[in-house]
Structure 1
C-alpha cells in the first residue's frame, strides 16, 4: 500500500497512469522503509535525513524518475541497456514497458550511499 501522503497526488493522476505510479511508489516505500515520502514541487519524492534521494513525475508517454544527475551519470549505460532513455536529470520509463526494479534499487542504493553525509537537499 502506498503511503497516505501520495493519496491526493494519485487521485489527480490520469487513470491510465495511476496504477503504474502507485506500484512504483509502493515498491519504493516497501523496499526502502527508511526513506521519508513527501510531495514537493507537486511531485512524489523520497528523502533520507532531509536530503533528496529520488523523485517521480508523470508525462504523457512515461513515468519520469529523477535521481539527480549523479545517479544518471553513474548508471547511464545500465539505463540504456534496460531500454530506457534519459536526459541529464530524468530517466524515462515508458508506460508500456515493465519497470526494471533491480536497476531502480541500484540507483536508490547509490544515492543513499553517495549522499550519506550530505547536509543539503540537493547535491552541490
Structure 2
C-alpha cells in the first residue's frame, strides 16, 4: 500500500479515503501478482506491464476503469450492481457497497484476456 499512500492522503473526505484504501488493499491481497502503481495521478494495477484496472475519485463516486472491453463484457452485471458507466469507466457511488465479486470477475477477465498483450492498453 506504500505506493498509494500519497494518493490516499490527497482524498479529503475520510470516508472516501477509507473506501478507496479498502478496495486497493483487497486487490493487493486477492491478486498479489499484480503490480500496484500510480500513473496519470491515479492508482492502478498492471500485469507484465499491461494495464489491468485503474481507479479515481470524484465528489459523488469512485470511478473504476477496466478498459472499454471489460465494461462491455460486464455491462449487465454493472447495471445489476446499481452502478452506471460510460465507455471508459464505471461509477460506484460512495453511498452504495462495492460488489467485490464483480470487481474480481473484471480483474480476472482482464488478466486472462490480456495474457498475450504486449502493449499497455488494448489496441
Band of TM-score, shorter chain: over 0.9
Q: Hey, what's the Cα distance between the residues in 2 that align with 1:65 and 1:83? A: 14
Aligned to 2:93: 94
Aligned-CA RMSD value: 0.6
Alignment of 1:1-124 (within 5 A): 3-14=1-12, 15-124=14-123
Q: Hey, what's the Cα distance between the residues in 1 that align with 2:11 and 2:51? A: 22
Helix, strand or coil for the counterpart of 1:70?
helix
Superposed CA offset, 1:63-98 (max 9, x none): 000000000000000000111100001010110001
Residue 17 of structure 1: how far off its partner (Å): 1.1
Aligned length in residues: 122
- Please report the TM-score for the alignment, with normalisation by the length of structure 1: 0.97
User: 5+ residue gaps in structure 2?
Assistant: none
4+ aligned runs moved over 2 Å, structure 1: none
Residue 16 of structure 1: how far off its partner (Å): 3.2
User: 5+ residue gaps in structure 1?
Assistant: none
Q: Hey, what's the Cα distance between the residues in 2 that align with 1:9 and 1:50? A: 21
Helix, strand or coil for the counterpart of 2:37?
strand
